[in-house]
Structure 1
């Protein structure tokens, strides 16, 4: 018998948390496909303002396999997910199961079977998405950018819905990152990986808490967290523009000496050049600002999240160094 840990972050999901718990419980119930395994279901609440916390308290009181972390405020989905992941004690860990069940829990038994056969990372890939064409296109562009700039591949359409072996888990939680991009950390770790395609379902209950600004923020974090190529491009681009500007200046001086009266017509060129180089400088400053912001977050050394309360949980093995399966 192996222990399977499942992590489910949530925020204002009173319509979904009980359904999510029941779906997982059914898999491990007698006669279910995972009945021969032990279950650990960790919910991380990001300071919900509805009835989510009350439902989680009741579930934890009725089911010892349910573990709950209550954050002191909303720290965003990645930080909340990563902090909860540190508490997992299973031999295999499902990194993320959304409580709205857009990623299907019925795929978990197949993931476990592949893990039992020796695959260390079983990743679900959203081959079909019940979402708009615009969102699908933006995601495709994002993955192309990240994989072009990085020295490792983040599989397209693979999110945090992945089952990882405990040795992979140890590598992931060892990262001291204040804004962890979890799918990137898993991809950078390596190990044997299998990708299972599935249909990403439309949300049936409630409203998604991810808006356009949050998705952009997550995408920018994914790009700048794992590569310094943007800075390198800025350096080469800036050097190239400097060479062109110097050549233009030399040619202008020579032309001005050879052709009398040439200077006044060049006024528009000066204005255009001024705006162009000002724009380039602002673009580069913004690029550097992204890296400086990430560095600033790291050097402050604050906690990933601040917890208000833990239910059915002690210190995570990632902190205490112990655990029944650690």
Structure 2
């Protein structure tokens, strides 16, 4: 019997976990021809998420709980779950129930037909404008300037075949953008569309800082456009400076230079200095990510792995040191 692994990154989601587990169990019942495992990755939650997951795991032997030492970010939590997944296909879904678990019923038939990747793209969303606007801008920019085949509405929920899972594990990229990485692999994918629902449980932790890092990670991982813009801006400023220098020399030659004050000089200095610092910052983003990758630190560290009924049922972490922690986690029933 083929197995489907459902990976759920968890971060301050205690209010939705019981209902999420129930809906996932209902999906598994409908998809009775497949075995299921539910992998919940607690990414350093500060609420009772881990305690709730412990209670759920005691009642359902399909549930595997991975507790990370601290918060490593949503992408790394997803990679942790993928590393521990044993299924022939892996589904990634959020814990806040904004992405309905019932999408599994649409994704699995497409996978059965041979599609290696199925993406659930949003055609509508009930999020506030402060969330919809940045997401829309990012999706447009990323599709036009990074990956042309990236779905227009973006996606966070998806199903990937074991072959794709192995590629993701092999890449072992730090500071990556997982949806972009999947599109980059080049495997053909199918799209399904859904209405992203309003959040009913808890408060989103997706603040401005995380959004900016997400934006920077995505573009530095899959586009050299920021560097090209720096080069173009540098050429433009150099050209403007050359033209202005010629104008000044001609004015000096014909004696038409008036008494100059500080205003124009300070404007030029501040603008050019600001542009230089901006370009250095962009270059620094690329250099930092290369340096971070070269240190070969693990993407995440596992504190505990919990699964019923026995420790022998728990697979070892993914063999690549960059993906798994390299630290033997404690295992509890």
> Match for residue 124 of structure 1?
120
Looking at structure 2, the residues matched to 297 and 248 of structure 1 have their Cα atoms a distance apart, in angstroms, of 42
CA distance in 1, matches of 2:19, 2:84: 22
Equivalent residue runs for 1:54-203 within 5 Å: 54-94=51-91, 96-203=92-199
**Counterpart position of 2:329:** none
Match of 1:295 in 2: 290
> Aligned runs of 1:300-311 on 2, under 5 Å?
300-311=295-306
| Equivalent pair of 1:71/1:307 in contact (CA under 8 Å) | yes
Tell me what 2:10 maps to.
Answer: 10
Structure 1 gap ranges (5+): 321-326
Runs of 4+ in 1 over 6 A off after TM superposition: none
Q: How many Å apart are 1:298 and its aligned residue?
A: 1.2
Distance 1:175-1:208 versus aligned 2 partners, 3 A rule? same
Normalization by structure 2: what TM-score? 0.89
Contact 2:145 2:223 in 1 (8 A): yes
Q: Displacement of 1:317 after TM fit? A: 4.3
Q: Which residue number in structure 2 is paired with residue 277 of structure 1? A: 272
Structure 1 CA distance for aligned equivalents of residues 295 and 8 of structure 2:
28
In structure 2, the gaps of 5 or more residues are 308-313, 322-333
Once the 2 structures are TM-superposed, how far is the Cα of residue 314 of structure 1 from its aligned partner? 2.7
Label 1:305 to 1:156 Cα distance change in 2 as closer, same or farther (>3 A): same
Partners of 2:132 and 2:21 lie apart in 1 by: 29
Write the distance in 1 (CA, Å) between the matches of 2:106 and 2:140: 28
2:134 and 2:53 mapped to 1: Cα distance? 35
TM-score (norm 1): 0.91
1:45 is displaced (CA, Å) by 0.3
Q: Does 1:23 align with 2:9?
A: no
The match for 1:316 is: 317
Tell me by how many angstroms 1:319 deviates.
Answer: 4.0
Q: Could you say which residue in structure 2 is the equivalent of 1:324?
A: none
- SS of aligned partner of 1:174: helix
SS of residue paired to 2:6: strand
Contact 1:43/1:66 (8 A) holds in 2 = yes
- Taking a change above 3 Å as real, the CA distance of residues 266 and 243 of structure 1, as seen in their structure-2 partners, is farther
Per the TM alignment, residue 213 of structure 1 is displaced from its structure 2 partner at its CA by 2.2
Task: Show CA shifts across 1:177-221 (max 9, x none).
Answer: 122211010011121211111010111222222222212221221
Kindly report which structure 2 residues correspond to 1:243-258, keeping only aligned pairs within 5 A, or say none: 243-258=239-254
Q: Distance in 1 between matches of 2:118 and 2:277?
A: 43
**C-alpha contact 2:147 2:180 (8 A) present in aligned 1:** no
Separation (CA, whole Å) in 1 of partners of 2:52 and 2:27: 21
CA RMSD of aligned residues (A): 1.8
SS in 1 for 2:5: strand
Aligned length: 315
The aligned counterpart of 1:323 is none
CA shift, 1:20, in A, is 1.2
